[in-house]
Amino acid sequence: MPDESDKNPEDEFRDMLRQFLAGNAGIDPSQLAGAAGLPGDPASVNAMLSQLRNALQGAGDGSINWQAATDQAVTIATAEAAPISAEQRAALDQAFSIAALWLDDVTGITELTSVPKLVTRAEWARATMPVWTQLAEPVATSISDALTRVLREQAPDEFQGMVENAGALLRSIGGALFAMQLGQVVGQLSTEVVSGGDVGIPLLDDNQAAIVPQNVSVFGDGLDIPDDQVQLYLAVREIAHARLFRHARWLRLHLISSITEFARGISIDTDRLESLADGFDPSNPEELRQAMVDGSLIPPKTDAQLATLGRLETILALVEGWVDVVTARATSRLPKADAIAEMVRRRRATGGPAESAFSTLVGLELRPRRLREAAAMWQQITDAVGDEQRDSLWEHPDVIPTSDDIDDPSALIARLEARARGEVPEPDDFDTALENLLRGEENLLRGEENASPDDTGASEKGPSPDENPPAV
């Protein structure tokens, strides 16, 4: 038999983890669940152990198995789920039809080519998880790498070889815990959101509008507003949001790229992680759990992140403000539209518990801070130049309003009014530089086209250096 000392350190570490996950270690698995910020009930603990075993079995390259996030989210979404009744389906289908007609009166933006959907909480969680994981992956990778580094530095000498050779395995285990934490957040969000575009970013596939009927019913509770008015208002908002992203094809990629750019700049506070590792008490994991859910492992934002965040907040405010203005005009015939609109604005301004959890988990808030200012700007533009000129500002990222335009839209409105009159605006420095650049490239291309294949650079019409100049 081979000597125990010949055993690969990674295999030894894997065996130790298997013993723990099989319940043969001194730490209660429910304590690990608490440390990860997950519920400690038996069903949740068993699900966590199952996911960790899967990570242990497939941890070859240290990659994160995001199926753990989906499984966790669906478990939460189905806990108190209610099926979509025939009555709800009929009412919301009718609301979607009316909403599309009303929007046609206030915007020329293209209609949707796919039929709006009614989805359950679990369906919403499954459909949106690809975007959530894309946004969270940079942070999950940073946390897993930092955890591996700290464990390597903190491990006693006799365990150094074990930890050093099990880096990929540790990253997979840490990633699985983070994935389950993300699943906890998305699962809770599935009980709060009313539609696909409710959090501002496009979580569903392009050109898709969707409503969660169970959550729409909860939204209307206590408002003293007829259900059909609530359903119609929310249907108008959702279709307006989906139409905008279908019209501005660049917008979805622009938003998600900005978020992932921000997330990639996040680093983990290893000093904080080391202090937690030094004083970690397995029987009292509250400090570690609190660090994971309150965002204290993520240090203050860098200047580059703050700049990215500023651009992201502006575009989110522009999207939400445009949707607000278009929805207000489309629903002007609804008696209680203003009351519903104010409820939506307050809800977006404060956010729900799950949205707050996402901001601490990933270090990013999705709430548009300047929503009211952006909506006021869009309204002034609409009053001045109409729907078509307003919506033309979504044609390209170079022409959308800026943060300065939100502060004072007068210059933007003046340019739009001049364009409506057919006036050509005076070129600014950027326009002049661009025109000169393009003219130079055009001249260069024209010169290459006129040159013969064996041309050495001399003009065909001009004299060669050794030719006599023409007589005068």
Query: Which tens digits make up the pLDDT trace of 414-439?
Result: 999 998 888 866 665 555 665 676 67
The band of 321, judged by pLDDT with boundaries at 50, 70 and 90, is very high
User: 272 and 291 in contact (C-beta within 8 Å)?
Assistant: yes
For helices 86-104 and 213-220, angle between their N-to-C axes, nearest 10 degrees: 80
Query: Which tens digits make up the pLDDT trace of 449-465?
Result: 665 555 544 444 444 44
Q: What is the pLDDT of residue 420?
A: 83
What rounded mean pLDDT belongs to the chain? 76
Quick one: which H or E segment has residue 211?
strand 210-211
Determine how many CB atoms are found less than 10 A away from the CB of residue 343: 18
- Residue 327: which of 407, 232, 406 has the closest Cα? 232
Q: What is the pLDDT of residue 326?
A: 97
State percent of the chain over pLDDT 70: 60
Residue 47 has pLDDT above 80, yes or no: no
User: 38 and 180 in contact (C-beta within 8 Å)?
Assistant: yes
The band of 23, judged by pLDDT with boundaries at 50, 70 and 90, is very low
Query: Which tens digits make up the pLDDT trace of 192-228?
Result: 999 999 888 888 877 799 999 999 999 988 788 999 9
What is the DSSP track for 250-317? HHHHHHHHHHHHHHHT----HHHHHHHHHH--TT-THHHHHHHHHTTTSPPPPHHHHHHHHHHHHHHH
Which is more confidently placed, 47 or 471?
A: 47
The band of 329, judged by pLDDT with boundaries at 50, 70 and 90, is very high
Residue 26 has pLDDT above 90, yes or no: no
Identify the bridge partners of residue 117 per DSSP, sorted by sequence position. 210
Query: Which tens digits make up the pLDDT trace of 302-312?
Result: 787 788 888 88
- Residue 394: which of 257, 250, 253, 239 has the closest Cα? 250
- SS3 at position 84: coil
Query: Which tens digits make up the pLDDT trace of 171-182?
Result: 666 677 778 888
The band of 385, judged by pLDDT with boundaries at 50, 70 and 90, is very high
Residue 404 has pLDDT above 80, yes or no: yes
